[in-house]
Amino acid sequence: MFYNLLYPLHDTFSFFNVFRYITFRTIYAIVTALVISFVIGPKITRWLAARQMGQTIREDGPKSHLIKSGTPTMGGLMILIAIISSTLLWADMTNRYIWLTLFSTAGFGVIGYWDDYLKCVKKDPKGLLPRYKFSLQILVALITALGLYTSPAYSTVLSVPFFKDLTPDLGIFYIPFAVLVIVGASNAVNLTDGLDGLAVGPVMVTAVAYLIVSYVSGHIDFSEYLLIPYIKGGGELAIICGAIMGASLGFLWFNAYPASIFMGDVGSLPLGGALGTIAVISKHELLLALVGGIFVVEALSVILQVASFKSRGKRIFLMAPIHHHYELKGWKEPKIVVRFWIISIILGLISLSTLKLR
Ligand code: 57M
């Protein structure tokens, strides 16, 4: 909004020229989202606690979680407010990619809110039934993918990390592929969100990696130099990545062990959905599996556990998702979380190296 309102005045006030720069607006998007999270965090926590919108802990999980019973949940509201407000303030509001990402983020937010509302307010332990939840996720992702597919000059060619000459064109099949990436990312972040700070750390690493990827993909010279697809207008996504990073950092302040608030599905579903959407728009879809390797491993651990139990009647892990396995092996919660963050940072660095290693 500042860009649209203030940059046109740069002929009269040369200072407003600075609003042209994505780097400048990204830095302030990070700061704005962080400040919003800090300011509204305590208020939202008190408001949720007063309404007893707290977490019910499952009896069959690791026993160390029972003391977390009643921790206010739905802290994702804070993350959503911070991301959306900061993006509206700092991004170019005529950019179609920004609106598509905001749509997908808000859409997944509504689904998550509905689920949390049923669980925490209506005290219905099942929440939104999986078949409705999944259908709504597919609907939001499909609208996003169609919006993208019909964007002028949008390409359906995939870029494969490490292989610059491998560029398969998916054509119309790009639409189901994009839906798969967006819905998969949303659910994988949701599964990861089971220990204090566990999901939000890798979310920040992924947001920073895509901040850089979208900035260089949206810059004609950098994209030519790095031999990556040039996405006209894609650089603006750096601003929403900055907002995700700032909002998540602010949330971590309250979610750090021992957490005073959980994000709930209203946080995990939109964070994953937003990252999936950004990966698709910036044409670095497959890179998400590498930079978000922690989310992939968490989701895979559940798939393998269920498959093994159904086919052989035996478990591979003591409990899935995999963070529960380490808890049951006796690792303390902060140790698991920090080690998963370290792995995530390493994966983030390897992912960024693929921009050059081709
Ligand atoms: C999200 N939700 C957390 C919190 C958070 C198919 C199956 C594998 C599904 C999976 C599942 O339900 N996953 C969805 C996991 C829950 O956190 C809430 O949910 C939100 C995210 N959606 O924001 O509101 C609990 O996680 C803990 N937590 C923290 N700190 C945080 O910052 O400690 C969350 C955030 C919270 C809190 O204890 O209550 C969750 O884990 O439920 N199901 C499972 O993960 C279950 N696994 C399982 O059944 N495994 C089986 C099979 C099916 C694979 C097996 O291994 O044999 C476990 N989850 C729990 N207990 N809680 C099992 C037992």
243 φ/ψ angles, rounded to the nearest 5 degrees: -65, -40
The rounded mean pLDDT for the chain is: 95
User: Would you place residue 51 in the very low, low, confident or very high pLDDT band (cuts 50, 70, 90)?
Assistant: confident
pLDDT at residue 347 greater than cutoff 90: yes
- Determine the residue of 45, 56, 58 to mutate for testing ligand 1's pocket, defined as the one with the most ligand atoms within 8 A of the Cβ atom: 58
Which residue owns the Cα nearest ligand 1 atom 40? Answer: 194
Amino acid at residue number 59: E
- Determine the residue of 257, 302, 323 to mutate for testing ligand 1's pocket, defined as the one with the most ligand atoms within 8 A of the Cβ atom: 302
> Across residues 92-102, what is the average pLDDT?
97
CA–centroid distance for 12 within its chain: 40
Measured distance CA(337)–CA(342) in Å, rounded: 9
Task: Identify the DSSP state of 218.
Answer: T
Ligand 1: atom nearest CA of 301 is 54
Conformational region of residue 193, where left means phi above 0, alpha means psi within -120 to 50, and beta covers everything else: beta
Predicted pLDDT at 316? 98
Ligand 1: atom nearest CA of 264 is 23
In this structure, what token pair is assigned to residue 116? 């949390």
Least reliable range by pLDDT among 37-46, 78-87, 191-200, 348-357: 348-357
163 φ/ψ angles, rounded to the nearest 5 degrees: -120, 100
Q: What is the pTM of this model?
A: 0.96
Q: Give 191 Cα–ligand 1 centroid separation in angstroms.
A: 7
Measured distance CA(184)–CA(131) in Å, rounded: 15
Task: Identify the DSSP state of 122.
Answer: S
241, 227 in Cβ contact below 8 A?
A: no
User: Would you place residue 340 in the very low, low, confident or very high pLDDT band (cuts 50, 70, 90)?
Assistant: very high
User: Would you place residue 61 in the very low, low, confident or very high pLDDT band (cuts 50, 70, 90)?
Assistant: confident
Ligand 1 cavity residues, CB under 6 Å: 55, 57-58, 60-61, 65, 68, 73, 190-191, 193-196, 255, 259, 262-265, 268, 302, 305-306, 315, 319-321, 324
Domains of the chain, by residue range, sit at 2-353
What does each C-alpha distance from 239 to 1, 26, 275, 284, 346 come to in angstroms? 12, 4, 13, 17, 23
144 φ/ψ angles, rounded to the nearest 5 degrees: -60, -45
> Across residues 141-165, what is the average pLDDT?
90
pLDDT at residue 186 greater than cutoff 80: yes
Predicted pLDDT at 165? 81
Determine if the peptide bond prior to 168 is cis (ω within 30°).
no
pLDDT at residue 56 greater than cutoff 90: no
Q: Give 194 Cα–ligand 1 centroid separation in angstroms.
A: 5
Paired with 169 in beta bridges are: 157
Q: Which of 123, 112, 119, 122 is nearest to 79 (CA)?
A: 112
Q: Is the dihedral of CA 203, 37, 77, 138 positive or negative?
A: negative
pLDDT at residue 290 greater than cutoff 80: yes
Q: Give 55 Cα–ligand 1 centroid separation in angstroms.
A: 11
Q: Is the dihedral of CA 244, 250, 255, 261 positive or negative?
A: negative
